[in-house]
Each structure stands twice: as structure tokens, then as C-alpha cells.
Copies of this chain bind each other. A is one copy, B any other.
């Protein structure tokens, strides 16, 4: 495991010195090109002369077509196995760039510098890479750790309220599956600001890393991290081709609400617990517009990567701080779900 909590991005200089790459390429989208790359280049003198590859911002870029363009781009730049790809951006960039790098000439060096809260606490941690296959999220990908993930809260300043709120859903998830005390801290957060969120980063990453070290390939325990994602992914997929696509984290916020409700329906959570959880979750995510008809969710849930055969495999809660993996959902119990 090479995931590093590094509040200081000058760590990148050390990593470059260690690797001595034949070439450095930075992958950005138009947002991080404008808002993050200049700061990175000023801070890291080794990036003088680095090549830049840019893709359009947004989940729509996480496709095989864009991956193919990037492979051709790396080829045109004469990148080789000892070249380094630096993925500077949110989860789309780290997932896409990780997939491209891990398969280019069967693997070149790559380093993630996540710039969104969501990527810092989730997407860039744990070695999952991937692109979407049509409407199916991350259906094509690899398990491959970057040389390093350099998480610096400095980029939080570049994010909108909406982006911060999206990332916060994964922070809340980590609390819910792993630690009641941390959940209490998270549930007192009252604003989406650098000041209130930066202090939560390190703990959230630590929770994810702990799970992954025990189960890197998601054979068991790692599935805890999928809490909120079975329904969340379906909602995200359904929204992608509408006029109001959800951010991944917004969909996960909604997924956390619904999967908490299912946990309560099954009697895994006490009424008091589920009320506490739902009060916080609904405050942040309850108002987000989304497809509310479970009939429409179901076909997408059946395609979830974590399933085996025709069963929908889901992670539920059995208390705050305790995940219960490998629960089979049935379509009937979805019918009763309504965000009040």
C-alpha cells in the first residue's frame, strides 16, 4: 500500500526524485487545468517541461473512447513504462487516469493528486481504477495502486459548496460503517467550508485504508465501503442522461438515506439510531432531486458489479459504526422507501 496522507504537496518532489521518470505527464480536466495546475507547477519545480493532457470535466469523460484518446496521446508523447502520469483532479480524473496508466504498455507509473473532497477521502484511495461502460459505472477497470496518493487540503478552497457536499457523503459513510465517535463529530458539521471539513480528512482516509489493507480485492470486508452505493449507483446512472445529472457523492448521499431505511426496516437499527442517522443525512441530501421510483432502480441494481448471479448484494448497517456485508436485497422491500 502506497497511499499517503500528505498535507504537503512538496511530497511530489520527493516521489519524482525516487522514481526518476523518463517523462512526466499531468492529466487534468479544464477545471483543474485552470484552478490547480498553476499552483502545482509553481510549487514543484520538477514539473517544468511536463506534458499536459486535458479531458473535458465531468463524468461523461469516464469512457472507453476518452481512455483510447489518452492512450494515443501518451503514445504520441512517447511515454513509456518508466514515465509518470500525475492525475490531478477529482474522482473522474483519478479513476480514468489510473485505468489508463495501469494498462498503458501494461503499466506505467502514476500518482494521484485528488483535488475534490470526494477523491481525497474515497476515489483516490484504495487502488480501484475504472471507466464506465455505457450506463454502467466503473464496469471496466483494474485494481492497481498508484505510486502515491498525495492528499492536500489546499485544493478544498477551489471547490463549490455542491462539490464539498458531494464529498462529505463519503466522509459520513466512513463514519457510519466504522466509528460511532467519528460519526458524532461529523454530524455536528454545520457548514460546507474548508475550516469545518479539512480536520475530518485524515480520519476518513485512515478508515478507508484500514479496510483496504485487510481486503484489497474486495473479497469480503472491503464491501463495507459499498454502503450507500447499491442504490446510489443506480440513482447516479439514471440521472446521467437527464438534464440534471447527479454528482457521484450526491447519489451516494441519497443511497445512504435509502440503505439506512432498509437497515431500519429489517430491524438492524433501533428506531433511535435510524432517526439520528436520517436526521443528519436528510438535512444534507434529502432535498436533492432524483428518480424516486424503485421500479426504475431495480434493473440497474441487478447489474451492480458486486452481485453474484441474479442476487443484489448490498451492505447494510447494524448500528452506527457497524457494517453488515453480503445482504441480499429483494425488490419488494424497496417499494416502501420514501424520503419523507
Contact = CB atoms under 8 A, between A and B. Distances in A.
Interface of A: 22-23, 64, 68, 71-72, 75, 78, 80-82, 102-107, 128-130, 133-134, 136, 138-143, 217, 302-303, 305-310
A306 B75 CA distance: 13
B130 A75 contact: no
Contact of A308 (B64, B82, B128): B82
The residue among A105, A136, A138 with the most chain B CB atoms within 10 A of its own CB is A105
A308 B72 contact: no
B75 A142 contact: no
A154 to B, nearest CB: 31
A107 B143 contact: yes
The residue among A75, A102, A138, A140 with the most chain B CB atoms within 10 A of its own CB is A140
A71 B302 CA distance: 17
B71 A104 contact: no
Contact of A80 (B142, B143, B307): B307
Given A106-B305, A142-B142, A68 B75 contact: no
Contacts of A22: 308-309
Q: How many copies does the complex hold?
A: 2
B80 A139 contact: no
13 contacts: A64-B64, A71-B133, A71-B140, A75-B139, A78-B302, A78-B310, A80-B305, A80-B309, A82-B309, A103-B142, A106-B130, A106-B143, A106-B305
A52 B146 CA distance: 36
B133 A103 contact: no
B140 A103 contact: yes
A305 B103 contact: no
Contacts of A306: 81
Given A71-B133, A78-B302, 12 more contacts: A64-B64, A68-B133, A71-B140, A80-B308, A81-B306, A81-B308, A104-B139, A104-B140, A105-B140, A105-B141, A106-B138, A106-B143
A23 B106 contact: no
Contact of A72 (B75, B106, B133, B310): B133
Contacts of A302: 78
Given A71-B140, A106-B141, A107-B143, A81 B134 contact: no
B103 A71 contact: no
A134 B103 CA distance: 15
